[in-house]
Amino acid sequence: MKETEPMRRILLKTAIAALACTAAASWAEDRYPARAIRFIVPASAGGPSDVVARLFAEKLGGALGQPVLVENKPGASLTLGTVLVAQAQPDGYTLLFTTSTPIVMVPFTMKKVPYDVQKDLTTVSHLGSTPLVLYVNATSPVQNVKDLVAASKAAPDKANFGSYGNGSSAHVLGEILNREAGMKMVHVPYKGVAPELQDLMAGNLMSAVADIGTAAGQVKAGKIRPIAVTGTKRSASLPDVPTFAEQGIAGMEAFSPWWAVFAPAQTPHPIVDRLSTELAKIVKSPDMQSRLLSFGIDTTGTNSAQANEITRTDMARWQAIIRDVSYINFE
């Protein structure tokens, strides 16, 4: 079929428009970043995610020559801030700074999740992970998991454990501990680690599951006592505290939440690569290594390909864990 003159003009205009779009995109990538970048943190201000995000925002802003602004968007089991980034323009100016919870756990604990991790997000860099810790009040006679089991059975009406939210890794850990140790501790959820630890110190909880960094001040002040840590080895921050495995409780190795930065899925590769390169440099700097260790964070600092593999692997692991405790109501 012979092309008409109008058809040739349409094809020419289409080709020119496509070239213009490609050139514009390339120009935008070359100039990146040309304005401030946002770190969306799906958790409350003052918590561990917020504190760590602000450390990275300051360093990344200096490396890129543009400010990185932290915006807290808590709510709905960390999904409000996460979906904001999942639906954002893929231009590198709206990034998600989060723990692993809304990425690898929430998709399996909530019935309706407003985003698809694999389709809507790409992992820019995996920054580090931290073990979870089982704490008791410092005045409690409980020194280890065996003592906790005995105490919970001796006073079943007072047997409970706190977590920083329904469906959180702390919640799931406590339920698996119940099953593995033959306990019936009642779950008490809180809106964050700070109020959870306040109630532990006040004597309203028999035990509580939290991170290392947030509880460090209370441990140092002698107000709470760590009795077990997750992971395959003891934490460098708590070298005298045995792992759950050392105390005969299996299955706690996966309970080490991690931090990572995510971008909308269609963000151009050059932008993602630039960000992951700078973040890896920041993670591996002596100053940041020291500061993150004070929060109990074991650093990584990966490129995007490595980070996406960690995300995929951990999603599969947590899907199996959640399926194994399907009797729990997470919502």
**pLDDT tens digits along 114-133:** 999 999 999 999 999 999 99
261 and 123 share a domain?
A: yes
Averaged over 222-249, what is the pLDDT?
95
Query: Which residue, of 223, 247, 271, is where some domain finishes?
Result: 247
Tell me, yes or no, whether 189 and 155 share the same domain: yes
Mean pLDDT of 21-45: 77
Q: Give me the number of domains the chain comprises.
A: 2
The answer as to whether 22 is a domain residue is: no
Mean pLDDT of all residues belonging to the chain = 91
Q: Is 144 in the same domain as 124?
A: no
Kindly state whether residue 307 falls inside one of the protein's structural domains: yes
Regarding whether 125 and 137 lie in a shared domain, the answer is no
Q: Helix, strand, or coil here: 45? A: coil
User: Do 192 and 241 have their domain in common?
Assistant: yes
User: What is the pLDDT averaged over residues 184-212?
Assistant: 94
Q: Is residue 173 pLDDT above 70, yes or no?
A: yes
Identify which of 34, 68, 30, 56 has the alpha carbon closest to the alpha carbon of residue 281. Answer: 56
Count of CA atoms in the C-beta half-sphere (13 A) of 78 = 27
Quick: pLDDT tens for 65-113. 999 999 999 988 899 999 999 999 999 999 999 999 999 999 998 889 9
Whether residue 216 lies inside any domain: the answer is: yes
Question: Are residues 161 and 84 part of one domain?
Answer: no
CB-CB contact of 295 with 52 (8 Å): yes
The verdict on 124 and 169 lying in the same domain is: no
Which residues form the domain of 89? 35-129+257-324
**Domain shared by 122 and 140, yes or no:** no
Question: Does 2 fall in a domain?
Answer: no
CATH number at residue 270: 3.40.190.150
pTM, 2 dp: 0.83
> Is 49 in contact with 97 (CB distance < 8 Å)?
yes
Is the same domain home to 124 and 263?
yes
**Of 216, 247, 278, at which residue does a domain stop?**
247
Instruction: Read off the pLDDT band of 23 (50, 70, 90).
Output: very low
The CB-based long-range contact list for 105-109 (8 Å cut-off, 24+ gap) reads 105/167, 105/168, 105/169, 105/172, 105/318, 105/322, 106/77, 106/78, 106/79, 106/82, 106/167, 107/315, 108/318, 108/319, 108/322, 108/323, 109/77, 109/167, 109/322, 109/330, 109/331
Helix (H) or strand (E) holding 258: strand 258-264
Does residue 138 share a domain with residue 78?
no
* Residue at token pair 């991690």: 258
pLDDT at 5: 61
Residue 143 lies in a domain: yes
Q: Which residues pair with 70 in a beta bridge?
A: 39
In a domain, 25, yes or no: no
CATH classification of the domain holding 159: 3.40.190.10
Asked whether residue 13 is domain-assigned, the answer is no
Which of these three, 192, 218, 247, is where a domain ends?
A: 247
Domain membership flag for residue 235: yes
Same domain as 151, residue 231: yes
Residues 111 and 182 in one domain: no
